Structure 1
Amino acid sequence: MNDESQESFRDLIATRLAELDAEDQMGEAGQATVELDQQAVGRLSRMDALQNQAMAKASATRRKTERARLQAALARMDEGEFGYCEDCGDAIAPARLQLDPAATRCVDCASG
């Protein structure tokens, strides 16, 4: 992989990391503790709030995992291992990396 294409992938990863940071800021309010106030909020409304809180926490976990995968891809770039399958050592197709720059396996190895 040449330096130009590697830099484009580095830019793509940086963009995705920035998007995750923006999503984190928007999702903070949804993870707040749900107050128990039966007079202000009915039982069903509280259940909805608890469900929304759980979904917000699950989304935060997903973003944390994705952030770790992207940072690992940046580390592979620094080590000169980016774009190569961790199983067979062949090059990962650029189209696959464009869709998921954190991919660590080629299509053949990923499909089994």
Structure 2
Amino acid sequence: MTDEQLDLIFKALSDSTRRRIIDRLSKQPAQSLFEVCAASVAENGVALSRQTVSQHLAVLEKAGLIEIEWKGRTKTHSLCVSEDHVAAASWLTNYMQNGRKT
């Protein structure tokens, strides 16, 4: 894994809205943009515009954290776990185990 790939993953995970989207997709995959927007309102009471959610999904897709599938005319989003993500988690775990507890 390159530093650039690691940066993309951690940048994507640095935003709480994107982390909530990932949580949602881990519980219920293959969601459309509309479903992700509706879930944001239902679960968090926060209304996000379609454009805002679309931008968050693009960041997650660029980091390889989600994958896109077309079902007819509907674009669906699902969580994607790859070797890069396992390596990023391993990298972080290594520092957590060896670091000093505060």
Taking structure 1 as the reference length, what is the TM-score of the superposition? Answer: 0.25
Structure with the bigger percentage of strand: 2
Taking structure 2 as the reference length, what is the TM-score of the superposition? Answer: 0.27
Structure of higher RCO (CA pairs closer than 8 Å, 6+ residues apart): 2
Structure with the bigger percentage of helix: 1
Q: Computing the radius of gyration over CA atoms, which structure comes out larger, 1 or 2?
A: 1
